């Protein structure tokens, strides 16, 4: 029995002609609109979707999100179950392989990751070349991209065995590069990986080891960080995943694609949201100031950071998990006045019709900054922690795109709205107004850029 195909009927009012467009998986193909033309010389109709707010660029089996219901699943498993019952490396295996590992598969996977954490000694020299106040994310972007020059076999992306090797290398070495970036920024000697420790524990070792012969991470902080990595592991077609897929579509090596994804995450609208939450809480200052702040938010004078999400129109399921992790962390680090402030701000906002009607609920960034700060991480390291957790998801997205026969090199169309062809104007005939405009723009740029000392 043949499957009934749903269609969309489109009538072009310019010509009066109607077209049947197939609907599959709740979507229509943008290319099907190309056949809607005014005449034979017409290029055909295009869809216009700035920032891809309603365009699916791929088919994916990795992550499912229902923003209205507040659901997040990796390969079908609810994020709450994975955060409670799995380890980060187990979740990384799930994202990449499609299934949870057996006991032996997990042991082999963990052993592979553990024994690929070392980086070439020249990488340390590379990081040493950065200025002392270089941002750790800038160093991470550069050093991850530089790994492609150390592993020329990474270019053989069609070889499954070599592809897996690069995946292992990236998940293993990003913690080392992250730790080295931090240690360089504070002037500490680099701490080598310790193969006896867990993935999260080893990262804490490379961050905080001082003069002790062996660093012993606090088990509560180690577990909390592992859960935070799980919560960040993937999130569908976000800005950085889109960058990973787009660069990967040119068949670039995964180190270069991952560097592009990290660069996308470096942007404050993506990886810097939890820092904005901390600044907001510090600006509020005390619980007594919350009503005034809420009133300013309603008047459009302030922004409520950490609330609302491009995808979620309900309580972010990751935020619920983080609430319990916060308790685990603060048992070790002691209470944080910012946490009390955040919880009261959340309580007031969630009881206010203004925020309820706009479906503004806490997202994952509302509490992570407070937790990271309590654990001792400087603000500059927040997006680095995000990148560590997201690496398996980026790699799963990259490999899925690479193996998808429908995918081609990413090349969006544009709607050109500039000049039609016009004659070239010689310098002698150009008006003074054009020169004045150029001078004005140059003056504004010079005024906006503060003078910096030469280094």
Residue with tokens 């750790």: 136
Contacts of 33 (CB under 8 A, 6+ apart): 10, 21, 44, 45, 46, 47
CA 265: distance to chain centroid? 5
- Gyration radius of the chain's alpha carbons: 25
Judge contact between 391 and 229, C-beta under 8 A: no
Q: DSSP for 246-268? A: HHHTTT--HHHHHHHHHHHHHST
Does the active-site annotation cover 270? no
First to last CA, the chain: 74
Measure the CA–CA gap between 367 and 375, rounded to whole angstroms. 13
Question: Nearest Cα to 27, choosing from 3, 2, 47, 50?
Answer: 47
Does the active-site annotation cover 120? no
Q: Which residues pair with 383 in a beta bridge?
A: none
Q: Is 308 left (phi over 0), alpha (psi -120 to 50) or beta?
A: left
Q: Which of 253, 365, 433, 435 is catalytic?
A: 365
3-state secondary structure 264-300: HHHCCCCCCHHHHHHHHHHHHCCHHHHHHHHHHHHCC
| Structure-token pair, residue 417 | 């709205």
Tell me 307's DSSP state.
Answer: B
CA 441: distance to chain centroid? 34
Q: Which of 184, 232, 235, 309 is catalytic?
A: 309
Secondary structure of residue 133 in the 3-state scheme: coil
Active site residues: 309, 365
């Amino acid at each position: 029995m043949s499957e009934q195909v749903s269609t969309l009927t489109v009538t072009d009012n310019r010509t009066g002609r109607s077209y049947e467009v197939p609907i599959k998986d709740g979507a229509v193909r943008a290319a099907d609109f190309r056949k809607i033309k005014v005449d034979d010389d017409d290029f055909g109709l295009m869809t216009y979707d700035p920032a891809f707010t309603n365009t699916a660029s791929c088919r994916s089996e990795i992550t499912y999100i229902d923003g209205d219901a507040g659901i997040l699943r990796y390969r079908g498993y609810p994020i709450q179950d994975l955060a409670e019952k799995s380890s980060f490396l187990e979740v990384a295996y799930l994202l990449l392989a499609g299934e949870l590992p057996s006991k032996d598969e997990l042991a082999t996977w963990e052993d592979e990751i553990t024994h690929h954490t070392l980086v070439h000694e020249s990488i340390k020299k590379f990081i040493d070349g950065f200025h002392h106040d270089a941002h750790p994310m800038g160093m991470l972007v550069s050093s991850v991209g530089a790994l492609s020059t150390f592993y020329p076999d990474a270019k053989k992306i069609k070889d499954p065995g070599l592809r897996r090797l690069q995946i292992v290398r990236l998940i293993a070495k990003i913690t080392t590069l992250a730790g080295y970036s931090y240690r360089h920024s504070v002037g500490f000697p680099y701490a080598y990986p310790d193969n006896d420790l867990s993935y999260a524990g080893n990262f804490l070792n490379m961050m905080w080891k001082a003069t002790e012969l062996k660093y012993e991470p606090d088990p509560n902080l180690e577990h909390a960080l592992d859960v935070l990595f799980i919560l960040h592991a993937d999130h569908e077609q976000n800005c950085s995943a889109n960058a990973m897929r787009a660069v990967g579509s040119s068949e670039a090596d995964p180190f270069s694609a991952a560097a592009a994804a990290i660069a996308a995450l470096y942007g404050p609208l993506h990886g810097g949201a939890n820092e904005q939450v901390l600044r907001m809480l510090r600006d509020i200052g005390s619980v007594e100031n919350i009503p005034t702040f809420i009133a300013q938010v309603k008047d459009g004078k302030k922004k409520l950071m950490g609330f609302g999400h491009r995808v979620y129109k309900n309580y972010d399921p990751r935020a619920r998990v983080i609430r319990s992790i916060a308790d685990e962390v603060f048992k070790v680090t002691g209470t944080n006045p910012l946490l009390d402030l955040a919880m009261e701000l959340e309580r007031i906002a969630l009881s206010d019709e203004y925020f309820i009607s706009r479906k503004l609920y806490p997202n994952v960034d509302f509490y992570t900054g407070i937790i990271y700060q309590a654990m001792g991480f400087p603000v500059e390291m927040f997006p680095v922690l995000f990148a560590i957790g997201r690496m398996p998801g980026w790699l799963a997205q990259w490999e899925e795109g690479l193996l998808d026969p429908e995918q081609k090199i990413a090349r969006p169309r544009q709607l050109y709205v500039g000049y039609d062809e016009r004659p070239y104007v010689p310098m002698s005939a150009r008006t003074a107004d054009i020169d004045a405009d150029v001078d004005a723009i140059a003056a504004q740029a010079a005024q906006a850029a503060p003078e910096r000392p030469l280094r």
